[in-house]
C-alpha cells in the first residue's frame, strides 16, 4: 500500500504591511521565526528534518539561498540540505510540491516547506550603465585615477532603478492586467468592493473566534522587542460607501481596481511540516490533512495572466475525478478581489469552459460561502513567497473546524501561472 503524504501542521508569522514593524527584519529572519514556531508547535526534533524548501520572490545577494540561512538560524542541523525556489506568487506552493516530490521519491521522509518575503527589503539598484561604471572602480590604483573616476559621473547617473511589479514580456502591471480582465468579464466595481469588505470582515471575525491564533506565532523584533501577535493590514467594518469613493489605482480613467480591493505589499513567512503517514506515526504526530493531488498551469500572458486558478482548479478536479460540489473548503489567493470573482465566474461560464477548457459543460458554480471564510490576501496580507503555505495551513484547519472532507487551494501568479491542490482531512 502506498504511503500517504500528510500535512502535520503549519505555522506563520504575523503578516505585516511593508515598512511597518518588520521594516528592519531581513527575509531569512522572517523564515527563521516561522520555522522556529513550527518546530515549537509540533515538537518535531530538528534532527528528524531531512530537508527544508522555501519560496522567495524578492531575493537579496547576501542571502541567495534564503532557505539555508533561515533553517540554520532556526536550529535546523547543518546536515539538513536546504534550497530556495521561486515562481512569483506561488513560490511557497512550488516549495511544498518540491517537498512532496522529495518524500514521494524516497529522498526524504520529513520536510519543512513554505516561504518568506519582505517587501520592505526590496533591493534598489542602479541602471546598467551606472553599474558598469561602478564595477570599474575596483581597478583604481592611484589618487589621480580616483579623481578621474569621480569626475566621470553625472548627477543623473545616481538616479536609482526602482523595481516595478510588471510582466517582462507585456510590460503591464498585474493591476493593469486585472483591470482589463474584469472589464472583459463584466465584474463590477461594486462586487469587487463587497468582496474586499467581506475579506476584511471575515479576517477580523476569525481573529475574534481564535482561528488565526492557531496558525500565527507571536514574535519579538529588535530593538524594541515589542510582542507582535496579529496581522496589521485588516480593516474591518469599513462602509461600502467609503470604499466606493476611492480612486482607481491602475487605470486612472476607466479602472475599477483600488487600493482597497487589491492586496498590499506585505512582510511575513509561513511554513508547513510534511512527511509520510508512517513517519508521522513513528514520531507520535497526528496529521491534519492528506495531500491528494495538485497541478500547475500556464496561460496566455496577454489576456489570461490572472486566470490560472480557473485552469488549475478544473485540471486538478479532472485528475482526482472530483467535482466542485465535492469540495467543502476553498482557499483562493486574493491578489485582487476582481481576480477571484473573475475566476469563479469563468468556471461557471459555458463559453469559457467550452472554448478555453474544452469542456462540454461548465465546471460548475462555487458557493461563495465556502471561499476564504477566515479572510484572504486582501486583508491578511500577501508576502509573495509565503502565501501558498498559509493557504494550505488554513485549508487544513478549516476542514477540521467545519468538519469537511475535501479542501482546494488555488492561486494565480505572474508569468500567467496557476496552481491548485486538493487535500483531504486526515482520519487515520
DSSP string for residues in 156-213: GGG-EE----B-TTT--BHHHHHHHHHHHTT--HHHHHHHHHHHHHHHHHHHHTTSGG
Question: Which of the residues are catalytic?
Answer: 89, 412
Secondary element (H or E) of residue 340: helix 337-347
Q: Which residue has the cell 485528475?
A: 319
Instruction: Name the DSSP letter for residue 262.
Output: B
Q: Which residue has the cell 482561528?
A: 211
Cis peptide before 223 (omega within 30 of 0): yes
Task: Measure the CA–CA gap between 390 and 381, rounded to whole angstroms.
Answer: 10
Burial of 72 (0-12, 13-18, 19+ CB in 10 A): middle
DSSP string for residues in 1-28: -PPPEEEEEEEEPPPEETTSTTTT--HH
Distance between first and last Cα of the chain: 14
Give the chain's radius of gyration (CA, Å): 22
Instruction: Name the DSSP letter for residue 89.
Output: B
Say if CB 307 and CB 426 are below 8 A apart: no
How far apart, in Å, are the Cα atoms of 323 and each of 172, 362, 408?
Answer: 35, 11, 11
**Which SS3 state, helix, strand or coil, does residue 409 take?**
strand
Task: Measure the CA–CA gap between 327 and 308, rounded to whole angstroms.
Answer: 18
Amino acid at each position: 500500500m502506498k504511503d500517504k503524504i500528510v500535512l502535520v501542521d503549519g505555522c506563520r508569522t504575523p503578516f505585516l504591511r511593508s515598512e511597518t514593524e518588520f521594516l528592519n527584519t531581513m527575509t531569512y529572519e522572517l523564515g527563521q521565526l516561522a520555522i522556529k514556531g513550527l518546530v515549537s508547535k509540533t515538537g518535531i526534533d530538528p534532527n528528524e528534518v531531512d530537508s527544508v524548501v522555501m519560496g522567495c520572490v524578492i531575493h537579496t545577494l547576501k542571502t541567495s539561498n534564503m532557505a539555508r540561512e533561515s533553517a540554520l538560524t532556526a536550529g535546523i542541523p547543518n546536515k539538513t540540505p536546504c534550497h530556495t525556489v521561486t515562481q512569483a506568487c506561488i513560490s511557497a506552493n512550488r516549495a511544498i510540491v518540491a517537498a512532496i516530490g522529495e518524500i514521494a521519491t524516497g529522498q526524504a521522509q520529513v520536510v519543512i516547506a513554505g516561504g518568506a518575503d519582505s517587501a520592505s527589503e526590496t533591493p534598489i539598484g542602479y541602471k546598467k550603465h551606472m553599474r558598469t561604471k561602478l564595477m570599474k572602480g575596483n581597478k583604481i590604483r592611484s589618487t589621480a585615477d580616483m579623481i578621474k573616476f569621480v569626475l566621470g559621473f553625472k548627477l543623473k547617473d545616481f538616479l536609482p532603478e526602482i523595481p516595478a511589479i510588471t510582466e517582462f514580456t507585456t510590460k503591464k502591471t498585474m493591476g493593469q492586467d486585472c483591470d482589463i480582465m474584469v472589464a472583459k468579464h463584466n465584474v463590477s466595481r461594486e462586487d469587487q468592493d463587497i468582496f474586499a469588505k467581506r475579506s476584511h470582515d471575515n479576517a477580523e471575525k476569525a481573529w475574534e473566534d481564535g482561528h488565526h491564533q492557531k496558525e500565527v506565532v507571536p514574535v519579538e523584533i529588535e530593538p524594541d522587542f515589542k510582542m507582535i501577535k496579529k496581522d496589521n493590514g485588516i480593516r474591518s467594518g469599513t462602509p461600502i460607501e467609503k470604499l466606493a469613493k476611492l480612486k482607481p489605482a491602475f487605470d486612472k480613467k476607466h479602472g475599477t481596481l483600488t487600493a482597497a480591493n487589491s492586496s498590499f505589499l506585505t512582510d511575513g513567512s509561513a511554513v508547513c511540516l510534511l512527511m509520510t503517514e508512517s513517519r508521522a506515526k513513528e514520531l507520535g504526530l497526528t496529521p491534519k490533512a492528506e495531500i491528494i493531488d495538485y497541478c500547475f498551469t500556464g496561460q496566455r500572458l496577454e489576456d489570461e495572466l490572472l486566470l490560472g486558478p480557473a485552469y488549475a482548479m478544473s485540471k486538478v478536479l479532472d485528475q482526482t475525478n472530483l467535482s466542485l460540489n465535492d469540495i467543502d473548503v476553498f482557499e483562493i489567493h486574493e491578489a485582487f478581489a476582481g481576480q477571484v470573482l473573475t475566476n469563479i465566474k469563468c468556471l461557471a461560464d459555458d463559453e469559457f469552459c467550452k472554448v478555453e477548457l474544452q469542456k462540454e459543460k461548465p465546471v460548475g458554480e462555487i458557493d461563495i460561502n465556502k471561499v476564504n471564510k477566515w479572510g484572504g490576501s486582501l486583508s491578511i496580507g500577501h508576502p509573495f513567497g509565503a502565501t501558498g503555505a498559509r493557504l494550505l495551513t488554513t485549508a487544513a484547519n478549516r476542514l477540521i473546524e467545519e468538519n469537511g472532507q475535501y479542501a482546494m487551494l488555488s492561486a494565480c501568479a505572474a508569468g500567467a501561472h496557476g496552481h491548485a491542490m486538493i487535500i483531504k482531512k486526515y482520519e487515520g
